[in-house]
Structure 1
Amino acid sequence: MVKDSVQVNSISPKTILWYFPPRYVPTDNRGKVPLPACPELKCFVTRNKTFLPESDAVIFNSQFIEGDIPPRKPDQVWIFHNSEVPYHKSTNRPYHRNPWSSSFNWTMAYRHDSDIFRPYGVLRRRPNIPIKNYTSIVRKKTKLVAWMASNCADWSKRRSYVRELQKHIQVDIYGACGKMVFSRLRNKEWMAYLNETYKFYLAFENNYCLDYITEKLFNYFTLDLVTVVRGGGNYSRDVPPNTYLNVADFKSPKELADRLWFLHYNTDRYIDILKRKERYYYQNEDYRFTFLGSPYIEQHYEQEPMCDLCRRLRDITHYRKTIPDILSWWKKGLCRNPVTYM
């Protein structure tokens, strides 16, 4: 993304406060720290609420909004942030009603119609494509299809789809939804094992929602395997063509299985997909945190969106607006879940 030219010598600092931060936001920025991707813009970020009266922008992650609405200084920009779909059990969240629902100025989420587009990741073209011995890579693989899933609620009928797919091809299910075990704390080992062992990985979203393409695709895209996607995102827009398989392009799980078998037995066609994938890399950031006493690592694409937010603060007159009802933007008619696995 090309950064706008900004005269930084004479600009005054701006403060961005995470009032209700997601769990991965570092807990050590109780003071104010410069945005790491664009320190020259002189925007500083904090999660210390004592800075609320002087903050130029305040970010509220909708999953954690609770209680009474805080005091607000004039011209302070309030931002509705989320990386998750509208929750099924979120009907009583405070932002569903006034005064919260009419208090936001900008949106910051994975949707392309957000004021600040904040996807799970972006795929960039590699300046230099690595040379690999793909024949050797494929020859070492001993298994066909893998799926890792910890959320077993079947809103999108993805488990139903996998059960039907298993009638036609072997699918190894890891995590809470299957019988195969590989600890989340051994993520590097898991990725290496998956990369060396399997030909295909199922990147199935747990909800069908507008623009919702998560780490389930991005984390595995650069591995030496073919990713199979299923969800409500616009994959043809956000993912390079012929680098993945989309369930939506097949009439049934059996038809998808037939294609997987075809690629299994036709190594040249399988390698063609791997070579096209190798032209791209996944850009994001690692965030380490502790949750319920256990260490976690999540991948998010947040630094550049935060810089975009800062640039908006530098031209606040141009971007000034108020959203009358955040719920009408966030929830209505934007998610669907199939009645059957198809």
Structure 2
Amino acid sequence: MPGVAVPRSWGPWGAWSGLALLSALWLLWLFWGAPGGVPAPQRTLTILVWNWPFAHRPPELPSDTCTRYGMAHCSLSTNRSLLARADAVVFHHRELQTRRARLPLAERPRGQPWVWASMESPSHTRGLDRLRGVFNWVLSYRRDSDIFVPYGRLEPREGPVPPLPAKSRVAAWVVSNFQAQQRRVQLYRQLAPHLPVDVYGRANQRPLCADCLLPTVARYLFYLAFENSQHPDYITEKFWHNALAAGAVPVVLGPPRASYEAFAPPDSFVHVDDFGSARELAAFLLGMNESQYRSYFGWRDRFRVQLFNDWRQRFCAICARYPHLPRDQVYQDLQSWFQA
């Protein structure tokens, strides 16, 4: 082959052997790795979902389920008879916590990766002490998870920017679980005397249907995106769907500002920790002029909100991470990791 230098120490037979090897490697690259060449066959991974989240009956899972979410060569199944040959098995924690599902420890194939999945916060997660040394990988909203699946993210926008909805009210809050010991309830009670807040949801006997939430919140300047508990990276649909997707400025109570800034521009939300008191926060919100208010929507020129609220999409993400995850990893103390 022209342009290939052969080391002198090889001798005549070594030279020909070296040239033959290089030629073979070049042909392999040409036919298998070069653009337009024949791609190497890729094995389809089978992910067994042992218990479907919050459901007595799992959904239909056609063979192209993961392809719809941009993940080819990935098959989801809830057929437990596939345990012996599944590439990974995923368990949703809520059903383990309530003992509606049990771990098939006695039938577990040697070396099979097991995935612990949960999108709940540590404050609403119990029973992790029973899971020592069981799971290899974690699927959750935390950025340090093996399979990181956020509740949402901003993606580059294609096409025209939709107009900002017209505003006629100040602040809205949708809440179903209203408990006095929660920090969000305490903050709301401190804020309400200084800021007009309309409360919706079962807690206030003003539930909103699924199709009513966004049009309702869109009429408000601000949405109280208060998480039910404060933990690292725990930023839920309250921020992504209820506020940003609705076209309201989120007033956030959750992890520190730095966590939010890892997901969204720093000028796309108002963080309660930036203020010394609820009165000061209310004064800041009510004191905004139109130009200041619209500056919180600068992100809309470049991005749109992408939600990840489908468990099928979340489980398909396991295939994307599968080749990159350690096979010998074991969470010996899952509770300490998750509670950290």
Scaled to the shorter chain, the TM-score interval is: 0.7 to 0.9
* CA shift digits 1:104-155 (9 cap, x unpaired): 10111111111111111111232445163x5xx54xx221111000011244
User: 2:119 is matched with which residue?
Assistant: 83
> 1:323/1:144 Cα in 2 relative to 1: closer, same or farther (>3 Å)?
same
Q: Does 2:265 align with 1:240?
A: yes
**Greater shift in the superposed pair: 59-68 or 215-224:** 59-68
Deviations along 1:270-320, one digit per CA (max 9) or x if unpaired, are 1222344453211124xxxxxxxxxxxxx34862x545421443456x554
2:178 to 143, 152, 158: 152
Residue 309, structure 1, aligned to residue 337, structure 2: no
Report the Cα distance in structure 2 between the residues aligned to 1:89 and 1:154, rounded to whole angstroms. Answer: 20
Cα 1:314–1:112 shift into 2, 3 Å: closer
Between Structure 1 and Structure 2, the one with more strand by share is: 1
Contact kept? 2:65, 2:76, Cα under 8 Å: yes
Percent of paired sites with the same residue: 29
Partner of 1:238: helix, strand, or coil?
coil
Q: Which runs of 5+ in 1 are unaligned?
A: 286-298, 335-342
SS in 1 for 2:239: helix
Structure number having the greater helix percentage: 2
Match of residue 187 from structure 1: 210
Of stretches 197-206 and 20-29 in structure 1, the one that deviates more from structure 2 is 20-29
User: What is the CA-CA distance between 1:34 and the residue it aligns to?
Assistant: 4.5
Query: Match for 1:224 among 247, 265, 269?
Result: 247
* Aligned residue in 1 for 2:42: 11
**Could you tell me which residue of structure 2 aligns to residue 288 of structure 1?**
none
Question: Aligned to 2:330, which of 309, 313, 322?
Answer: 322
Question: Unpaired segments of 5 or more residues in structure 2?
Answer: 1-34
**SS of the residue 1:163 aligns to:** helix
TM-score between the two structures when normalised by the length of structure 1: 0.77
Query: Aligned match of 1:201 in 223, 229, 250?
Result: 223
Is 2:172–2:224's contact at 8 Å kept on the other side of the alignment? yes
Q: Would you say the 8 A contact 1:203–1:230 is kept in 2?
A: yes
Q: Deviation per CA, 1:198-256: give whole Å up to 9, x if none.
A: 11110000001111000000002033321111112511222212111111111111111
Relative to structure 1, is the Cα distance of residues 249 and 25 closer, same or farther in structure 2, using a 3 angstrom cutoff?
farther
Structure 1 position 26, deviation (Å): 7.6
Say if 1:52 and 1:218 are closer, same or farther in 2 by CA, change over 3 A.
same
Q: Is the 8 A contact 1:108 1:117 kept in 2?
A: yes
Count of aligned residue pairs for this structure pair: 295
CA distance in 2, matches of 1:25, 1:222: 30
- 2:330 aligned partner, one-letter code: T
Q: CA deviation at 1:16?
A: 0.3
The 1:194/1:215 distance shift into structure 2, 3 A limit, reads same
Counting only pairs closer than 5 Å after superposition, residues 110-121 of structure 1 correspond to structure 2 as 110-121=141-152
Q: Distance in 1 between matches of 2:44 and 2:334?
A: 29
Give the match for residue 49 of structure 1: 80
- TM-score normalised per structure 2: 0.78
Q: Distance in 2 between matches of 1:9 and 1:321?
A: 28
- In 2, distance between residues paired with 1:128 and 1:26? 39
Matched, 1:215 2:215: no
Give the direction of change, closer, same or farther, for the CA distance of 1:30–1:300 in structure 2 (3 Å limit).
closer
Counterpart CA distance in 2 for 1:150 and 1:175 is: 5
